[in-house]
Chains A and B, each alone.
Chain A
Amino acid sequence: MPKDDGIGASTKRREDVRFLTGNGKYTDDINLRGQAHVHFLRSDVAHGRIRGIDTSAAEAMDGVLKVFTSADFESAGGLPCGWQVTDRFGQVMQEPKHPILAEGKVRHVGDPICAVVAETYEQARDAAEAIEVDIEELEPVIDMKSALADGAPKVHDDLTSNLCYDWGFVEDNKDAVNAAFETAAHVVSLELTNNRLVANPMEPRVAVGDYDPWGDSHTLYTTSQNPHVIRLLMGAFVLNIPEHKLRVVAPDVGGGFGSKIFHYAEEAFCTYAAKVLKRPVKWTSSRSEAFISDAHGRDHRTKIELALDADHNFTALRTETYANMGAYLSTFAPSIPTWLHGTLMAGNYRTPLIYVNVKAVFTNTVPVDAYRGAGRPEATFQIERLVDKAARELGVDPVELRRQNFITADQFPYQTPVAVVYDTGNYHATMDKMLELADYAGFEERRAESAKRGKLRGFGIAHYIEACGIAPSNLVGQLGARAGLYESASVRVNATGSISVYTGSHSHGQGHETTFAQVVADMIGVDASSIEIHHGDTSNTPMGMGTYGSRSLAVGGSAIVKATNKIIDKAKKIAAHLLEAAPEDIELKDGKFSVAGTDKSVDWSGVTLAAYVPHNYPLEELEPGLEETAFYDPSNFTYPSGAYGCEIELDPETGKIDILRFIAADDFGNIVNPMIVEGQVHGGLVQGIGQALMENCVYDDQGQLLSGSFMDYTMPRADDVRGFTVDHSCITPCTHNPLGVKGCGEAGAIGSPPAVVNAAIDALHRAGHTHVTHIDMPLTPARVWAAING
């Protein structure tokens, strides 16, 4: 096996060459012959009744082909929601229709009302300004608790209230949890906000719809993390197009972070309009549009309480969370604050009793859905902030309080009281590794040095757990998922031995073309350069569920392993025939089949050629060809975990926080490409640190988005963050997938926000500002200064 491209090698990414030379093929780079352009006229008020729309002036303008309104979509369905949550009373959630273009009402700033299709984008945009929309403004509901007040204006007139669901988990534990609080020696509580964020992948969303009238077939090119999911949702539920007449292609995609999982109105629009107009129709989002049309993330308000006994053992945990759904239910929105959040509330600890209550609320804001981590960052932030607060209130070391309550290495598999079973982990090991790399022992000396300069130094700790490798289909089906969450792969071995792999996973920055080839190269023992990874096109890959939830290697990679094992099994039979031996005596090593204990062998390409030129071949027993498909459905989630340490310096004069060092000691199970894993963690860290210090999505009380551009929404930049040390040497392999991998895509964004906030509180307390027990994210200089001086 060439050492530089198998499992465990930091193989350089092959996809980089096209990206670095300007030859990537992103959706906006696709221009079809005869293509027209659409511009969406979007609501500039948060809540209103549409009294009339006059498109006549717009339709008379140069280049305009048609102006669409909701009347053009009477036969279409609404955008479907992929997860139905059942509340704590046994009732299913309230599920309003999400039309492609606004029907009767507008419900958030950015809600599309009309779509103008013209010869050029500029003509479409010019014409949109000539449309007269008569809107009766209604009082909006923006704040979640106000939205639930009696008599609050309703986002959806046909629902009973703005409450989507009131979920309890585990409902049967509720009384026992409350009883444990009654008898607790200590109770620590905290109210906190998990601030609303915008994912902001650097590539804005794009959709190009194309229609072939001769075959009555549709093609949609779109910026998606999961083209098959889009094909299923849009074809079956929105436009009534059967799969064999609908191809969805997600070519190179410029980042997703969750925001490109969901099926959006613009995709359905372009697909539909292309058929109406018999021309390709293209939409390219501007960044300003992205802010008001991409699903947002987070936006939880929580009260969390921890009960401890006299020896500081955690005895119970309970939470009450308000989760913002926005104006409509985005594709996976209901699952984020429930099953992806409540099931992680044990964290890394042995807390025996847990009760989680979540009220999901409709407001006149952009829909909220999964963003990097999706539910798990919210869980981790609450737990790790609260444990830190508990240590401070009890006067014990936050490291020791955690260690005392950690699930220990000998307790796995570990059944938590919130349904999931952690297969492996070693939280003491990751904590030790982090403290060692952080030179925690030398902190006090560094703090004293900072103090001489008038700066407050603090060290913050967080230990996270996440559930990745999403997900066992039968389990999530019971929990309300309306889709399976397996993954698929086809491995096509070509006659001369090269290999084409078709995966249902989708790469939008993760480097699958490199890592998946490493896996197959390692298994067969051929050069990775002879393996090509194909993804993103429903016409040539088996039905797959795409990329999110750190699932690609754990689930998609496992499907590739499964298909490759089928290939190897068949190839061994062919080799056995060629070598006149029994299949069970054939060994495959370094791309060569040999008969055990002999010097008889045939190389990989000799077998593959025989498969396709079957002149000397057991045709009575074996079909020609060498191509296999596999579907892999995981039996459990995977559980990456890790210890994060953040060392900051805080300027008490200005409230400004500088991150001086950030240590991530993760347990991702086995690692295929360490270079890529490190890059994933770096990116996650900066998104998490961005949330903790800078990023905030802000609405005013009329539902106007105040942070609607990169001039207002503070994206981390190169001089904002530095000093990362990333380690993944603590390895407890996943026990239930063939690679033993856990996933690494979201960890950084999950573990870092509480570490940063804990560091700030630590700095303030060490300097005597003990009245500051919490500051809500983002910890901007203004907020920190106000906390100190408040």
Chain B
Amino acid sequence: MTRVTMTVNGRQMSAETEGRTLLSSYLRDLLGLTGTHVGCDTSQCGACVVLVDGKAVKSCTAFAGDLEGAEVTTVEGMANPDGSLGRIQQAFQDYHGLQCGFCTPGMVMSTAALLAENPTPTEEEVRHYLEGNICRCTGYQNIVRAVMAASGQDAGALAAE
């Protein structure tokens, strides 16, 4: 067992890990941050996406032991300091970009990474970027609207073709 320390959502946290402990398990099972979800075992669904040093990472593909000292942001760290919904979260609520909520943490974190790279993406760019996040409920249209709105663009104008 090895003690691994990371800065998670701005706070230093640490836990004893095995060599095979995944970042997703480190967050969920050892730190109790259950906002990050695991929806598959082949790194396809993206429900577990978190930011590691600012980059979107599928936390089911990273070993906790490789991330000593990393800065990690999870969905629990996305609200405003006063506890109200952050900009991306608010857009998802406003545009009904979630139903069961299970893929939502990954969608929110991927959106954060997208908008950090590309503050005003086109619809095509949004859809392409979110390819690694599967949602079974929404059909994606309202997720794309939410991302467009979160980037300050007109969310109503999704092209028919």
Contact = CB atoms under 8 A, between A and B. Distances in A.
Interface of A: 12-13, 15-24, 26, 28-29, 31, 122, 200-204, 252-255, 257, 286-288, 508-511, 647, 660-661, 675-676, 678-679, 682-687, 709-711, 715-719, 721-725, 748
Interface string B21-50: 000000011000111111111101101000
Contacts of B140: 682, 686, 716-718, 721-722
A91 to B, nearest CB: 39
28 contacts: A12-B96, A19-B98, A19-B104, A20-B85, A22-B76, A201-B136, A202-B103, A202-B136, A254-B37, A254-B39, A254-B103, A255-B137, A509-B100, A510-B99, A678-B96, A682-B140, A682-B142, A683-B99, A683-B139, A709-B41, A709-B44, A715-B44, A716-B140, A717-B131, A718-B128, A718-B131, A723-B159, A748-B139
Nearest to A256: B100
A710 B42 CA distance: 7
Nearest to B143: A718
Contacts of A31: 29
Contact of A715 (B100, B126, B136): B136
A65 B134 CA distance: 37
Rank and list the top 9 A-B pairs by shortest CB-CB distance, nearest first: A22-B35, A254-B102, A19-B101, A509-B100, A682-B139, A710-B44, A509-B99, A686-B139, A287-B40
Interface in B112-150: 123-124, 126-128, 130-131, 133-144
A665 to B, nearest CB: 15
B102 A718 contact: no
B13 interface: no
Contacts of B79: 21
Contact of B96 (A675, A686, A711, A717): A675
A585 B112 CA distance: 58
B96 A13 contact: yes
Contact of B161 (A19, A20, A254, A660): A660
B53 interface: no
A122 B20 contact: yes
B42 A511 contact: no
B142 A201 contact: no
B74 interface: yes
A12 B85 CA distance: 13
Nearest to A19: B101
B44 A22 contact: no
Nearest to B105: A22
B1 interface: no
A439 to B, nearest CB: 9
A342 B42 CA distance: 39
Nearest to A25: B34
Nearest to A14: B93
Contact of B138 (A660, A683, A709): A683
Contacts of B20: 122
Contact of B93 (A12, A685, A719): A12
Interface of B: 18, 20, 28-29, 33-42, 44-45, 47, 74-76, 78-79, 85, 89, 92-94, 96, 98-105, 108, 123-124, 126-128, 130-131, 133-144, 158-161
Contacts of A288: 41-42
Contacts of A252: 100-101
Contacts of A679: 96, 99, 137-139, 142
Contacts of A686: 139-140
Contacts of A683: 99, 136-139
A27 to B, nearest CB: 11
Given A254-B100, A661-B160, A718-B144, 13 more contacts: A12-B93, A19-B104, A23-B76, A201-B102, A202-B103, A254-B39, A661-B161, A679-B137, A718-B128, A722-B159, A723-B158, A723-B161, A724-B139
Contacts of A675: 96
A511 B98 CA distance: 10
A225 B157 CA distance: 35
Given A122-B20, A509-B137, A718-B133, A21 B34 contact: no
Contacts of B75: 20-22
A725 B143 CA distance: 15
B40 A682 contact: no
Contacts of B105: 22
B139 A685 contact: yes
Given A201-B136, A679-B142, A724-B139, A24 B128 contact: no
A16 B42 contact: no
A717 B94 contact: no
Contacts of A719: 124, 127-128, 130-131
B15 to A, nearest CB: 14
B73 to A, nearest CB: 11
A441 to B, nearest CB: 16
Contact of A717 (B102, B124, B134): B134
A110 to B, nearest CB: 15
Nearest to B99: A509
A710 B74 CA distance: 24
Nearest to A689: B139
Given A16-B93, A718-B143, A202 B131 contact: no
B131 A15 contact: no
A202 B160 contact: no
Contacts of B85: 17, 20-21
Nearest to A686: B139
B23 to A, nearest CB: 15
Contacts of B134: 202, 710, 715, 717
A321 B34 CA distance: 45
Given A255-B137, A719-B128, A721-B139, A287 B102 contact: no
Contacts of A20: 75, 78, 85, 89, 92-93, 98, 101, 104, 108
A131 B88 CA distance: 48
A20, A509, A685, A722, most chain B CB atoms within 10 A: A20
